[in-house]
Amino acid sequence: MPDIKRLLKIHKNQTLFLFGARGVGKSTYVRDELNAESTLWIDLLDPVEEDRFARNPNELKALVLALPASVTHVVIDEIQKLPKLLDVVHSLIESTNKYFILTGSSARKLKYGDANLLAGRAFVYPLFPFSVLELKGKFDFSIAMRFGMLPKLCSYNTDEERSLFLQAYALTYLKEEIRGEQLTKNLDAFRRFLEVAAQCNGKIINYSNLSRDVGVEDKTIKEYFSILEDTLLGFMLEPFQHSFRKRLSQKPKFYFFDVGVTRALLRQLSVQLLPRTSMYGDIFEHFIILECIKLASYFHPEYRFSYLKTKDDAEVDLVVERPGLPLLFIEIKSAEEIQEVNLKILFDIKKEIKDCEVVCFSNEKREKQLSDNVKIMPWQTGVERYFT
């Protein structure tokens, strides 16, 4: 994998949690940030290490207390596998001057297992697949749209290798995160759910329809979505809450964390992406939303995202609440030429909510400003301007 500097900035001399889905590069990031000689590394993905600390969590205390002063940091990789270790970490924070870096690809056991979350003594950071701004000159838009932005993809030179990797990723997720962690007993139903959820990516969730398609109850579908969120494979985008008179939808959308993983779950990796098709438009929208979310998480974590859908079925892909700044409404269009008639919803919003910004991110080559201060801009310009 090429040497790519990540945008995330952590406070290294603090105890912290670093969360991200499997394969986003957490371990690589931490190794790049810390001096190997001053770091004790504990990898709970190693069965021997996991068994060692599962049998005797206080083994961690004995190890840390024996460390020389030159070792300043202790990394515990995939902490969710042994949440009980957090009690020991808590004690060591109080009794030593070591800093603990705790990585995890799932918050589920920590959230629901009465895990010690260190009572505010640890900062919390997210890490995502690569951003366009991290890859810079190495970014290939066509490859990113088809296969996503997981760091490991940079190691492969052919579409066949990229496809095999993503197919294996989907299987690994089922095997290690779901079955291995015993997150659900009905793995076959969950496997069906994953494919159906991928088909519904970016669409308003209808729990009853999903329940019928998967063959489980509504409450089980909600639990499955909760598993995806807790294992950081996706997120809910809630409807915009405002007095906007035409707003109708009260149901969330769900987005997977990477377009390549979504296509793998849909078994569409071999399908070519053709501009001016609905599939291309859906993936383009998904890709841009993910870029906005990633960059905001790194640079503006207080931003809140939602979407807007009116009773006329007009829709704005992203609504961004920015403390101290006007509301930002973003419409995403994959076309290379955008006409005013395509942006009627943005003009309507501008009339209804005077103090707001409205913009269309698109494949246009140049930035344009229309009447009522409605802007059209190349998507790369837009995501960098508004979210860094």
Q: What confidence tier does 185 reach under pLDDT thresholds 50, 70, 90?
A: confident
Answer yes or no: is pLDDT of 230 > 70: yes
φ, ψ (nearest 5 deg) of residue 321: -90, 120
**Structural domain contains residue 6:** no
Judgement on whether residues 90 and 20 belong to the same structural domain of the protein = yes
**Structural domain contains residue 314:** yes
Judgement on whether residues 190 and 300 belong to the same structural domain of the protein = no
- pLDDT given at position 244: 55
The mean pLDDT value for 158-163 works out to: 96
Burial class (CB in 10 A: 0-12, 13-18, 19+), 31: middle
Q: What confidence tier does 122 reach under pLDDT thresholds 50, 70, 90?
A: confident
Integer CA distances (angstroms), 36 to 39, 41, 44, 130, 302, in order: 5, 9, 18, 24, 33
In angstroms, the CA 138 to CA 357 distance is 32
In angstroms, the CA 175 to CA 104 distance is 17
Judgement on whether residues 150 and 275 belong to the same structural domain of the protein = yes
Alpha helical stretches, state H, the chain: 26-33, 47-55, 58-65, 85-95, 108-112, 132-135, 141-147, 159-172, 187-199, 207-214, 218-230, 259-266, 278-299, 344-352, 379-387
In angstroms, the CA 120 to CA 14 distance is 12
The mean pLDDT value for 156-161 works out to: 96
Answer yes or no: is pLDDT of 316 > 60: yes
Beta bridge partners of 43: 77
Judgement on whether residues 152 and 237 belong to the same structural domain of the protein = yes
The mean pLDDT value for 150-168 works out to: 95
φ, ψ (nearest 5 deg) of residue 32: -70, -30
Answer yes or no: is pLDDT of 253 > 60: yes
Answer yes or no: is pLDDT of 107 > 80: no
**Structural domain contains residue 1:** no
Q: State the pairing for strand pair 315-321/327-332.
A: antiparallel
Answer yes or no: is pLDDT of 96 > 50: yes
In angstroms, the CA 331 to CA 318 distance is 7
Range from 140-144, 369-373, 377-381 carrying the lowest mean pLDDT: 369-373
**Structural domain contains residue 203:** yes
Judgement on whether residues 104 and 179 belong to the same structural domain of the protein = no
Range from 102-106, 192-196, 202-206, 309-313 carrying the lowest mean pLDDT: 309-313
DSSP letter at 357 equals E
The mean pLDDT value for 369-376 works out to: 89
- pLDDT given at position 181: 60
**Structural domain contains residue 89:** yes
The answer to whether 201 touches 286, Cβ cutoff 8 Å, is yes
Q: Give the distance, in angstroms, between the CA of residue 362 and the centroid of all CA atoms in the same chain.
A: 22
168 lies in which domain range? 132-285
Judgement on whether residues 356 and 376 belong to the same structural domain of the protein = yes
Of the residues 106, 126, 146, the one at which a domain ends: 126
Of the residues 241, 258, 285, the one at which a domain ends: 285
**Structural domain contains residue 79:** yes
Of the residues 285, 304, 335, the one at which a domain ends: 285
Count of the separate structural domains present in the chain: 3
Judgement on whether residues 59 and 91 belong to the same structural domain of the protein = yes
Answer yes or no: is pLDDT of 245 > 80: no
Minimal CA–CA distance to 288: which of 274, 307, 272? Answer: 307
Q: Three-state DSSP class for 89? A: helix
**Structural domain contains residue 159:** yes
The mean pLDDT value for 330-357 works out to: 92
Q: What confidence tier does 225 reach under pLDDT thresholds 50, 70, 90?
A: very high
- pLDDT given at position 114: 54
- pLDDT given at position 3: 79
**Structural domain contains residue 185:** yes
Q: What confidence tier does 246 reach under pLDDT thresholds 50, 70, 90?
A: very low
Judgement on whether residues 48 and 107 belong to the same structural domain of the protein = yes
- pLDDT given at position 61: 97
51: domain CATH number is 3.40.50.300
Beta bridge partners of 378: 362
- pLDDT given at position 116: 60
Q: What confidence tier does 204 reach under pLDDT thresholds 50, 70, 90?
A: very high
Structure tokens at 40: 């004790």
330: domain CATH number is 3.40.1350
Answer yes or no: is pLDDT of 353 > 50: yes
Q: Is the pTM of this model over 0.85?
A: yes
pLDDT per position as a tens digit, 24-37: 999 999 999 999 99
Judgement on whether residues 88 and 183 belong to the same structural domain of the protein = no
Q: Which residues contact 317 (CB under 8 A, 6 or more apart)?
A: 285, 288, 289, 307, 330, 331, 332
Q: Average pLDDT, whole number, for the chain?
A: 91
Judgement on whether residues 265 and 163 belong to the same structural domain of the protein = yes
Beta bridge partners of 360: 331, 376
160: domain CATH number is 1.10.10
Give me the half-sphere count of Cα atoms (radius 13 Å) on the Cβ side of residue 383.
22
- pLDDT given at position 2: 52
Percent of the chain with pLDDT over 70: 94
Answer yes or no: is pLDDT of 274 > 90: yes
Structure tokens at 80: 């969710």
Q: Which residues contact 23 (CB under 8 A, 6 or more apart)?
A: 129, 150, 151, 152, 169
The mean pLDDT value for 66-95 works out to: 94
Answer yes or no: is pLDDT of 1 > 80: no
Q: Which residues contact 201 (CB under 8 A, 6 or more apart)?
A: 254, 255, 256, 262, 282, 286
Judgement on whether residues 194 and 298 belong to the same structural domain of the protein = no
Q: What confidence tier does 259 reach under pLDDT thresholds 50, 70, 90?
A: very high
Judgement on whether residues 175 and 262 belong to the same structural domain of the protein = yes
